Amino acid sequence: MNNDQLYERYQRQLILQGFGAEAQQKLLSASILVIGAGGLGCPLLQYLVAAGLGSIGIVDDDVVSLSNLHRQVLYNVQMIGRPKTDCAVEVLRQLNPQVKFTVYNERLTNKNAATILSAFDVVVDGSDNFATRYLVNDACLLLNKPLVYGAISQYEGQVAVFNVQQNSERSANYRDLFPHPPKEGEVLNCAEAGVLGVLPGIIGSMMANETIKLVTGTGTVLANKLFTYNTLNNQTYELELSKRSETMSLIPATIDALQQTDYEWLCSTASLVNEIDATVFNELIAEGKTAIVDVREKDEQPVVTEFSHIQISLSQLQQHASWLTEDTIIVFCQTGKRSAAAAKQLTELFSSSKKIYSLKGGIQQWMQQQKQTV
């Protein structure tokens, strides 16, 4: 592409006061790593690619599914079943062929994080789980990379820019905000709680905006700040983050230590939980001597009418555990995550006096399997 075409492509931002050719050149020389090509990743990638970033890396190990399409706007029905990274790059190349893409069709892990992150100037986290979020934060601290953060839940989103060099200091990071990862099931994820498609569009676009500002030095980024947005009432709330004295002690001291840190385990329920599949579940229902507990919140969909059960949400479980007099208890939720946490709580509570099971894959998977077997 010649200079005339380059000028034409970026003309509207080149003539923008406070941006111009110098900022455009900074974008062209920058390399950005986008973690997660999902709800946040799609708008992020579209705007970064359109703006003329020089080099973009994409990490994602997932494939496109039909339930992604209401919010992951890079994809279409023809792409279902194909890796998101491949599909994203296919679309993005057509948008801007000058961008250099590096694709990591794999999960970001404690083993590959340092190598992947090292190759980029700025890391942008649009992942969908705490294990990845803490891993990315800690790796960015160890590698001195600024981290653009965004996360969503139901109708609300959060945006921040972590670990930015300001004067002689690095700005606050994710662990200054939330020092310890919650256990799986303590906090709902999108698959469990649902999300309106526009929300990641808004939050992902804000992350792209922060990234462009950070790279070009335009305006002020959300360093030492957490911005929150509520789509239901359009309320925004901006918090000032204070650094915590203990934060550095929570982060692995070296890359080697990071590679030894099991983030999946830190954020999960480990192996104490007995998970059962739909077949075993149906057998136990048929036996009829089992307490079956829906640990989802009241009014969560789908409503289960296929078998009798009681509802005690995960947050109420400790309080009402005495209701469970049967020797065998099966807990279920939407996808099997909260029920795993519930099973762990009950196992700790009753130790070996009761058998506790969690329905693997949750009621969603169970219902799908029932449809297939009918």
Task: Find the helix packing angle between 198-216 and 20-29, rounded to 10°.
Answer: 100
348 contacts another protein (rule: CB under 8 A): no
Site string for another protein, 171-210 (x = CB under 8 A): -----xxxx--x---xxxxx--x-x----x----------
Q: Is 200 exposed, middle or buried (0-12, 13-18, 19+ CB in 10 A)?
A: buried
Range in contact with another protein (rule: CB under 8 A) among 136-144, 155-163, 273-281, 304-312: 155-163
Looking at beta carbons only, is 113 or 278 nearer to another protein?
Answer: 113
Residue with tokens 């939720």: 333
138 contacts another protein (rule: CB under 8 A): no
Site string for another protein, 18-37 (x = CB under 8 A): ------------------x-
Residues 6+ apart with CB under 8 A from 272: 343, 344, 347, 348
Range in contact with another protein (rule: CB under 8 A) among 19-27, 112-120, 163-171, 315-323: 315-323
- Nearest residue to 335 via CA among 191, 174, 203, 195: 191
Looking at beta carbons only, is 129 or 216 nearer to another protein?
Answer: 129
Distance (Å, whole) CA 333 – CA 284? 17
Smallest distance from another protein to CB 110, Å: 18
Which residue in the set 68, 85, 110, 158 belongs to the binding site for another protein (CB under 8 A)? 158
Asked if 145 contacts 120 with a C-beta cutoff of 8 angstroms, the reply is yes
In 217-266, alpha helices (H)? 247-250, 255-260, 263-266
Asked if 153 contacts 202 with a C-beta cutoff of 8 angstroms, the reply is no
228 contacts another protein (rule: CB under 8 A): yes
Asked if 239 contacts 228 with a C-beta cutoff of 8 angstroms, the reply is yes
Does residue 302 have a cis bond before it (omega within 30 degrees)?
yes
In sequence order, what E strands does 179-327 have? 225-230, 236-240, 275-276, 290-294, 310-311
156 contacts another protein (rule: CB under 8 A): yes
Looking at beta carbons only, is 11 or 166 nearer to another protein?
Answer: 166
The site that binds another protein (CB under 8 A) totals a number of residues, namely: 50
Range in contact with another protein (rule: CB under 8 A) among 22-30, 93-101, 215-223, 313-321: 313-321
Pairing of strands 147-153, 156-162: antiparallel
76 contacts another protein (rule: CB under 8 A): no
Site for another protein in 107-136 (CB under 8 A): 125-130, 133
Helix, strand, coil percentages, rounded to 5, for the chain: 40, 20, 40
346 contacts another protein (rule: CB under 8 A): no
Which residue in the set 10, 32, 41, 84 belongs to the binding site for another protein (CB under 8 A)? 41
Q: Which letter, b or e, does each residue of 341-361 get, where b requires 16 or more Cβ atoms within 10 Å of its Cβ?
A: bbbbbbbeeeeeebbbbbbbb
Which residue in the set 5, 279, 315, 368 belongs to the binding site for another protein (CB under 8 A)? 315
Smallest distance from another protein to CB 129, Å: 5
DSSP-assigned beta bridge partners for residue 58:
34, 103
102 contacts another protein (rule: CB under 8 A): no
Site string for another protein, 252-291 (x = CB under 8 A): ----------------------------------------
Looking at beta carbons only, is 26 or 244 nearer to another protein?
Answer: 244
Query: 190 vs 122, 156, 196, 253, 286, CA distance in Å?
Result: 26, 11, 10, 32, 32
Other beta carbons within 10 angstroms of residue 11's beta carbon come to: 10
242 contacts another protein (rule: CB under 8 A): yes
Which residue in the set 152, 208, 215, 223 belongs to the binding site for another protein (CB under 8 A)? 152
294 contacts another protein (rule: CB under 8 A): no
146 contacts another protein (rule: CB under 8 A): no
Q: Is 6 exposed, middle or buried (0-12, 13-18, 19+ CB in 10 A)?
A: middle
Task: Using CB under 8 A, list all residues that contact another protein.
Answer: 36, 38-41, 125-130, 133, 150-154, 156-158, 176-179, 182, 186-190, 193, 195, 200, 226, 228, 230, 237-242, 244, 297, 313-316, 318-319
